Amino acid sequence: MKFIEEISRRRTFGIISHPDAGKTTLTEKLLLFGGAIQEAGAVKSNKIKKGATSDFMEIERQRGISVATSVLGFDYKNNKINILDTPGHKDFAEDTYRTLTAVDSVIVVIDVAKGVEEQTEKLVEVCRMRNIPMLVFINKLDREGKDAFELLDEIEQKLNLTVTPLSFPIGMGYDFKGIYNIYEQNVNLFTGDPKKDIEDTIEIKDLNTNQIDQLIGSDSANQLREELELAQGVYPEFNQNDYVNGKLQPVFFGSALHNFGVRELLDCFVDIAPPPRPKTSEEREVKPTEDKFTGFVFKIHANMDPKHRDRLAFVKIVSGKFERNKPYLHVRLGKKLKFSSPNAFFAEKKAIVDEMFPGDIVGLHDTGNFKIGDTLTEGEQIHYKGIPSFSPEHFRYINNADPMKSKQLNKGIEQLMDEGVAQLFTLEMNNRKIIGTVGALQYEVIQYRLEHEYGAKCSYENINVHKACWVETEDEKSEEFQEFKRVKSKYLAHDKQGQLVFLADSAFSLQMTEQKYPSIKFHITSEF
């Protein structure tokens, strides 16, 4: 029975938003409640000297942005909570899409002044496709922003969600007085005093009492009564089943920087969020309560500790219990592997563990066996799906800037590509290496990490490529395919798995090629 109990107390979720809406700051505050850190850091704030715990790469501290997804675990009210803090910057969206395959629910952070932004729309769409339960947190209420109803409307229209507020702001910005918690029926007053970490709440079941007038003044009290009456008339009542099935999204208001409204969010989240959910594999649906262990790699990170050259594969446990030193089958390679020091995470701090349960994320030291999407089982052939490679948007030749260091450069490129930072294509004609990325910022990150982690310098050269298309043909010996290979030879390359890729130089030339060779299929994602 202990096994079932352990599963039901797990909550694994991701935090997503547009850059600068306050994801990392919210993550820090959640850790504060879990007693995991004593003083929360902010990403960009002159008042707070400590940097954010979840931004551990040097380049993240310099820029004040999150580049890689970090994993943080802590205990709160007898629940084991695993947070995946994702990068919001669109150049790192691929890392975020992959992370969404490993979470059971999501918190969407929205900036009160900017409302719904473009990156939020894309990420929410991915969550909607997979029916992931979403909670919305509207952040930065201590600044002037949009009206609460206006924001709720915008979320409904732009993100295509059905929302219901579970807390409601009293005033905003300069007049911000506090929050009425609809879920628990109490009032939390905002003092603006940063020394008081956690405010006291005052329980008020009946909104018509004079007690509210005394607390916030009769004008604010009357406005709150009107707004709540309107909100309860307009929005559906909260229903946990609808939320878990992705049909209803509860909304909370607060200010992560002032640690205000965060406890309400966490308490309600722990209460309603789903425990680990079943996952579909190509063979069958796998339930978390099964005895046999299965899990999949959703991220690989090289050099988490610059002093030791280590690679860590992040594995989401789907079913069964993971045990240290027990041999597990690596499905793609068909060989058994043992792990003597599996890690549990807390940003850059790691601890070795003996057993882990479904919903947990375990870090396995890797000498080059793992690729993103690999499955580990106790012997069954299972392939989890849903981690594609997208066609990159930007392409550049990569050149070695220091001939003495070509070995380090090759090793560095190989390891960074295994991480999924970018994609590597090798031209058939002359074996030149081309790096394709989703965003231009990636090139700087690659250059920076090659130099600081591998001691290799590289330079880039522009190349005109519109899209990389994976080529599929039924008959490799057919005349049509042979002619295609001959005519387009200078546009053909291989990806890291050795699959054939056609680098089209414009949308027009891709269209012409498709018409000219009807038996050949061109895909813009590698998962086919």
Quick: pLDDT tens for 261-272. Answer: 888 888 889 899
**Structure confidence by residue, pLDDT tens digits, 199-218:** 566 666 666 677 777 777 77
Model pLDDT, residue 304: 54
Instruction: Give the least confident one: 85-94, 169-178, 418-427.
Output: 85-94
pLDDT at 47 over 60: no
> What letter represents residue 432's amino acid?
R
**How confident is the model over 90-99, as a mean pLDDT?**
68
Q: What is the pLDDT of residues 357-395, one digit of tens each?
A: 998 888 888 877 888 888 999 988 988 876 666 678 889
Question: Could you give the C-alpha distances from 477 to 31, 192, 308, 471, 485, in angstroms and in order?
Answer: 59, 73, 48, 14, 11
Q: Give 239's contacts (C-beta < 8 A, 6+ positions apart).
A: 248
Contacts for 507 with CB less than 8 Å, ≥ 6 apart: 466, 467
Question: What pLDDT was estimated at residue 523?
Answer: 85
CA-wise closest residue to 277 among 288, 291, 269: 288
pLDDT attached to residue 458 = 92
Model pLDDT for residues 480-494, shown as the tens digit of each residue: 999 999 999 999 999
**Rounded mean pLDDT of 167-193?**
76
- For the stretch 190-193, contacts whose Cβ atoms lie closer than 8 Å and that sit 24 or more positions apart, written own/partner, are 190/142, 190/255, 190/258, 190/260, 192/142, 192/258
The partner residues of 163 in beta bridges, in order of sequence, read: 249
Contact 361, 313 (CB under 8 A): no
| Whole-number percent of the chain with pLDDT over 70 | 83
Q: pLDDT tens-digit profile of 220-254?
A: 888 888 888 888 888 999 999 999 988 999 999 98
Average pLDDT, the chain: 81
How far, in Å, CA of 493 to CA of 454, rounded?
26
Weakest-pLDDT range from 2-6, 186-190, 392-396: 186-190
pLDDT-derived band at 306 (thresholds 50, 70, 90) equals: low
In this prediction, residue 42 carries a pLDDT of 42
**What's the confidence (pLDDT) of residue 135?**
93
- Alpha-carbon Rg for the chain, nearest whole angstrom, is 25
| Residue pLDDT, tens place only, 117-176 | 887 887 888 788 778 899 999 988 878 888 888 999 999 998 888 999 998 888 776 777
What is the predicted pLDDT for the residue at 384? 80
Q: How far apart are CA 121 and CA 158, in angstroms?
A: 7
Residue predicted with more confidence, 522 or 206: 522
Looking at per-residue pLDDT, the higher value among 415 and 132 belongs to 132
The beta strand positions in 36-99, using DSSP E, are: 70-76, 79-85
pLDDT in tens, 398-411: 999 988 998 999 98
**How far is it, in rounded angstroms, from Cα 500 to Cα 520?**
12
pLDDT of 41 above 60: no
Q: Which of 402, 414, 323, 308 is nearest to 368 (CA)?
A: 414
- Which residues make Cβ contacts (< 8 Å) with residue 300, sequence separation at least 6? 311, 312, 313, 314, 366, 370, 371, 372, 418, 419, 420
What is the DSSP secondary structure assignment for residue 137, as one 8-state letter?
Answer: E
User: What is the pLDDT averaged over residues 424-441?
Assistant: 88
Q: Check residue 45 and give its pLDDT.
A: 39
User: Does the model's pTM come out above 0.85?
Assistant: no
